[in-house]
């Protein structure tokens, strides 16, 4: 066993350790700033937090409402019929259910959210991949996705839009083309967990009428509260009913249910928050572009995919930023189709970005000159 607590902490096959574990073991004397977990930093407003505080006793004391109530509330947020909505305990719950129900092999692009690559293998579902290429800014064309589906005989397709971690995307017209060209597949799944942070149109309205399309969506990221564990799927009414039947009876906790029930009071602040995130993304992207030996790729999400110059270790940079500056980042060596030369940096507010830029310049310069203080994990 290693004596290096950071090496042990980040020795995980996918994802990252929790923020709480990182803060506990980082050994940094001060506030740790999180550039690892992409979340909306401009929501919720203080009034919403206070409302929860005032009603916490009842929220925790009683069972939450049933699924049909949550479906109505989510439908009101997303402007969708409740019969097409499948509320879930975070998007991972519905991703797990979809993978369990899969008939035949799954094709997904890489790199992507690790559950889409890990779960099929855990469940013994055949998995095929299509690699996003650096020279194309990690964007895929409809024709190459269709060709890859045909060549490997995939029965199910998964596309994250915008893609996590690269930020590349397809338009609604291109999603519609995919669904039409691949109409003989069992399922086309579009994971829109980060779409609120973009100006892309959701494919959810297509899913309500489609025999094959399912849209998956996380709400925790958009609400600024990963911890409430909220997500949903959208499908035609028959498929939505089947998905709901596979989920636990009370899969939405009381706090999440209360937030859904009272969301309408804060709807204006919610939608305004995304424009503020977009401004933060522009500021962060422009400033990162001024750091030597770092390349930033286009993104329409609330994170940026960053490439380090060859020879720079993302693991070493991660450890040095955490230990020396209290900055937590995501290096992507444990994402299939990526490597430690790539970082996914969550969009932060300007003061935090300034702190990151200063720290990056110091650590990249030290690494380039061979002045390192830690060993890579």
Q: Per-residue pLDDT tens for 194-246? A: 999 999 999 999 999 999 999 999 999 999 999 999 999 999 999 999 999 99
Q: What is the span of the domain harbouring residue 11? A: 5-43+269-368
CATH code, domain with 304? 3.90.1150.10
Under 8 Å CB-to-CB from 291, ≥6 apart: which residues? 357, 360, 361, 364
Same domain, 103 and 245: yes
Q: Is residue 376 domain-resident?
A: no
Q: Is residue 374 domain-resident?
A: no
Same domain, 106 and 26: no
Q: How far is CA 362 from CA 84, 315, 324, 377, in A?
A: 51, 16, 10, 20
- Residue 203 near residue 175, CB atoms below 8 Å: yes
Same domain, 93 and 199: yes
Q: Per-residue pLDDT tens for 133-156? A: 999 999 999 999 999 999 999 999
The predicted pLDDT at position 216 comes to 98
Same domain, 86 and 125: yes
Say whether 245 sits in a helix, a strand or coil: helix
- Residue 240: count other Cβ atoms within 10 Å of its Cβ: 23
Same domain, 130 and 259: yes
Same domain, 150 and 78: yes
- Residue 182 near residue 213, CB atoms below 8 Å: no
pTM confidence score: 0.93
- What are 200's two structure tokens? 């892309």
CATH code, domain with 86? 3.40.640.10
Same domain, 114 and 240: yes
Same domain, 39 and 52: no
- Per-residue pLDDT band for 17 (boundaries 50, 70, 90) equals confident
d(CA 51, CA 24): 30
Give me the number of domains the chain comprises. Answer: 2
- Per-residue pLDDT band for 5 (boundaries 50, 70, 90) equals low
d(CA 86, CA 105): 23
Say whether 43 sits in a helix, a strand or coil: coil
- Residue 125: count other Cβ atoms within 10 Å of its Cβ: 18
- What are 86's two structure tokens? 């499948």
Tell me which of 251, 266, 281 is where a domain ends: 266
Tell me which of 248, 266, 284 is where a domain ends: 266
- Residue 19 near residue 329, CB atoms below 8 Å: no
Same domain, 341 and 307: yes
Q: What average pLDDT does this structure show over 274-278?
A: 98
d(CA 71, CA 69): 5
d(CA 134, CA 138): 5
Q: Is residue 234 domain-resident?
A: yes
Same domain, 194 and 140: yes
Same domain, 258 and 343: no
Same domain, 203 and 301: no
Spatial CA neighbour of 338 closest among 7, 114, 17: 114
Say whether 248 sits in a helix, a strand or coil: coil
pLDDT at 48 over 90: yes
């Amino acid at each position: 066993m290693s004596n290096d607590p950071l090496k042990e902490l980040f020795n995980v096959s996918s994802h990252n350790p929790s923020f709480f574990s990182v803060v506990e073991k980082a050994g940094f004397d001060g506030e740790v700033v999180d550039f690892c977990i992409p979340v909306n930093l401009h929501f919720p407003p203080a009034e919403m937090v206070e409302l929860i505080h005032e009603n916490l006793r009842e929220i925790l004391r009683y069972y939450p409402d049933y699924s049909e109530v949550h479906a109505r509330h989510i439908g009101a947020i997303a402007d969708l019929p409740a019969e097409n909505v499948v509320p879930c305990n975070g998007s991972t719950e519905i991703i797990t259910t979809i993978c369990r129900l899969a008939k035949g092999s799954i094709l997904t692009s890489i790199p992507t959210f690790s559950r889409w690559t890990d779960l099929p293998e855990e469940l013994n579902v055949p998995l095929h991949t299509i690699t996003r290429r650096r020279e194309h800014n990690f964007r895929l064309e409809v024709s190459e996705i269709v060709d890859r589906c045909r060549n490997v005989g995939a029965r199910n397709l998964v596309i994250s839009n915008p893609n996590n971690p690269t930020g590349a995307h397809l338009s609604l017209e291109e999603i519609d083309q995919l669904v039409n060209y691949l109409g003989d597949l069992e399922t086309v799944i579009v994971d829109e967990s980060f779409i609120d942070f973009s100006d892309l149109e959701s494919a959810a309205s297509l899913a309500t009428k489609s025999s094959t399309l399912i849209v998956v969506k996380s709400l925790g990221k958009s609400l600024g509260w990963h911890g409430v564990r909220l997500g949903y799927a959208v499908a035609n009414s028959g498929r939505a009913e089947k998905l709901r039947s596979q989920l636990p009876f009370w899969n939405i906790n009381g706090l999440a249910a209360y937030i859904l029930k009272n969301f309408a009071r804060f709807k204006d602040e919610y939608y305004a928050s995304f424009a503020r995130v977009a401004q933060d993304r522009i500021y962060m992207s422009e400033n990162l572009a001024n750091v030597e030996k770092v390349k930033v790729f286009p993104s329409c999400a609330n994170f940026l995919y960053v490439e380090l110059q060859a020879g720079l270790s993302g693991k070493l940079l991660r450890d040095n930023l955490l230990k020396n500056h209290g900055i937590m980042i995501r290096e992507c060596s444990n994402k299939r189709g990526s490597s430690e030369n790539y970082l996914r940096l969550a969009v932060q507010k300007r003061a935090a970005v300034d702190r990151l830029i200063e720290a990056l310049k110091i650590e990249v310069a030290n690494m380039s000159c061979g002045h390192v203080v830690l060993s890579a994990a």
